[in-house]
Amino acid sequence: MLGLMQNWPLTVDRILDHAANWHGDREIVSRSIEGPIVRTTYGEVRTRAKKLSNALKGLGVKPGDRVATLAWNTGRHIEAWYAIMGMGAVCHTLNPRLFAEQLCYIINHAEDKVIFTDLTFLPILKEHRASMPTVEHVVVMTDEAGMAEADFPGALCFETLVAGGGPDCVWGDFDENTASSLCYTSGTTGHPKGVLYSHRSNFIHTLVTLGVDVMNISARDTVLPVVPMFHANAWGLAFSCAAAGAKLVMPGQKLDGASVYELLETEGVTFSAAVPTVWLGLLTHMRENKLGLSTLKRVVIGGSAVPEAIVRGFRDEFGVDVTHAWGMTEMSPLGTLSSPTAKVAATDPETQLRYKLKQGRPPVGVEMKLENDAGERLPHDGTTFGRLMVKGPFIVDSYFKGDGGQILDDEGFFDTGDVATIDGDGYMQITDRAKDVIKSGGEWISTIEIENIAVGHEKAFLAAVIGAAHPKWDERPVLLVKLMPGVESTKEEFLAFLEGKIAKWWTPDDVVFVDDIPLGATGKIDKKLIRERMKGYVLPTAKAKETA
């Protein structure tokens, strides 16, 4: 027997409709690419986005066509995002931090018809225009005055398009399973692959994010998504804030400590989300200038593991609560959060902090299991490592155009490529990416755990651990450290710091001080590049063995 409730398609245009109808005067504040702070509202954003949908139709965009954005977080980006999705086209967020060849690959693979771009990215688009044959139009997200600086033949002006479009576009007149958006994984191995979200998957993810143990966003919040819209949909915030009626503060292209701090204070931000490196920049800026925070209460940190020093710094010096989150592009992206259970909330602050450093527990809608390489389920005992597998209504089923073939196991679970433990309280902890884990004498060593402890040393700015070949043990860990500016240190100092904090056999065989630890396009330590740079490196312990 079927239920007798209304079939109300879960399409994301309804999220902006809700914001415009019920939180119409709630602000969206942006640090514009041109410089000044600009203000708009959900009501205005809907009107302008509808006009833009009509303008896109005028350019020949049809439902299902891919329309890309190469843009920072701004109000205009939100308008383009809803204009594209609302009319049934697919909003393809491009990550401008990718190498030009990868960007061209992705644009061609997606067959993008139109690209919305910030002024910032015109030079790269101009240089590679000839390698993007499917692109019919480039729209510059600026006004006529900004166009005067735009050196790009044939480029269209965003504001002119908005002004010329009629306000009457009908949105969302399609099945909720229609594709809404496309985001490529950064492709640390092989070519990037496209994750094609549906209206339904985004809508359900949005509802889940609003939960108190998830993002906990309300109409009273002022939210600063530092995480870019091109990094796994800004972790859903462009939808969640509209759904909740929260004020949005969009940081544009300035993500340094001073610029983020300024917006936090001037706009009264209560909640923010970003990768750890952004927060390191903010904490350093506040400490150097002896600044405090007057409104910020909560931050979500994810994308890579949160070092203990960040959680303590926020808590003890600035009174801000950190929620650690884990997820991936393939999961829309939220997978787990470190919110306390009743049992954990009843423990002392130090015990609570131990749980905060784990990646956390899944919200409703995310199923998880741990498996070994033979496909057998592993116990949730907090120590057994295994492959982390996930399943749910906002998790990828297959990649765009079938890349990678069948990616689910027999039970319909997707392999995250992460290695993790799950403890008896259901807290998942990532120990590594499967391809980074160090296999020493048949046992696994977690590079993330060593890195997080090492970066807690007061002289360390960034730390990375990779495996280096060893004749007896296969691989042994090497710790690379980028020191704080102007300080000196020794291998012995770092090894002494790790002593007693990790198992003895996890102790790195060497510590190498480097000028640079490279970060990838989504702010994570780029281990592939580090391994390339360390190609000729031989462990001192391996050398000793060779000469013995």
List the catalytic residues: 185, 330, 439, 444
The helix (run of H) or strand (run of E) holding residue 224 is: strand 222-225
Query: How near is the Cβ of 302 to ligand ADP at its closest, in Å?
Result: 4
Which CB sits closer to ligand ADP, 298 or 324? Answer: 324
Residue appearing with tokens 């007798």? 4
Q: How many CA atoms lie within 13 A of 120 on its CB side?
A: 16
Query: How near is the Cβ of 236 to ligand ADP at its closest, in Å?
Result: 13
Q: Are 389 and 368 in contact (CB under 8 A)?
A: yes
Closest CA to 337 of 360, 357, 310: 360
Q: What is the token pair recorded at 88?
A: 């049934």
Distance from C-alpha of 9 to C-alpha of 174, rounded to nearest angstrom: 8
Please provide residue 201's backbone torsions phi and psi, each rounded to the nearest 5 degrees.
Answer: -65, -40
Distance from C-alpha of 405 to C-alpha of 455, rounded to nearest angstrom: 39
Burial 276-308 (b: 16+ CB within 10 A, else e): bbbbbbbbebbeeeebebeebebbbbbbbbbbb
Q: Within the chain, what is the greatest distance between any pair of CA atoms?
A: 81
Which CB sits closer to ligand ADP, 401 or 472? Answer: 401
| Cβ neighbours, 10 Å, residue 182 | 22
What DSSP designation does 417 have? E
Question: SS3 of 495, please?
Answer: helix
| Cβ neighbours, 10 Å, residue 455 | 21
Under the rule (CB under 6 A), what is the footprint of ligand ADP?
A: 185-186, 188, 232, 302-305, 324-329, 333, 359, 416-418, 430, 433, 522, 524
Q: Label residue 60 left, alpha or beta by phi (over 0 means left) and psi (-120 to 50 means alpha).
A: left
Question: ω into residue 340 within 30 of 0, thus cis?
Answer: no
